[in-house]
Structure 1
Amino acid sequence: MQYELVLERISDGDRNDPDRARYTIADLEALCQEVEVA
């Protein structure tokens, strides 16, 4: 997964449903690890 796509999803999520679509720091760290492995 590319960073642009992740940021796009976070932005869209915040805009559409700010209470439900928050990414936690743990989620972002896990994504970073996946990107490093890929």
Structure 2
Amino acid sequence: MTSSDLAGFGGSVEPMVVDVTDRLAVEAAVARVLAATGGTL
């Protein structure tokens, strides 16, 4: 994972210049976390 994958979790997101690929990577990472935790954060 890259730092851009974690931008959404850090609280300091750079001015909404999220690349579409990065967004997909973030959503995939979130989906993995949700699956691992049984759907709760």
Give the TM-score of the pair, scaled to structure 1: 0.47
Give the TM-score of the pair, scaled to structure 2: 0.44
Report which structure shows greater RCO (CA 8 Å, sep ≥6). Answer: 1
Larger helix percent? 1
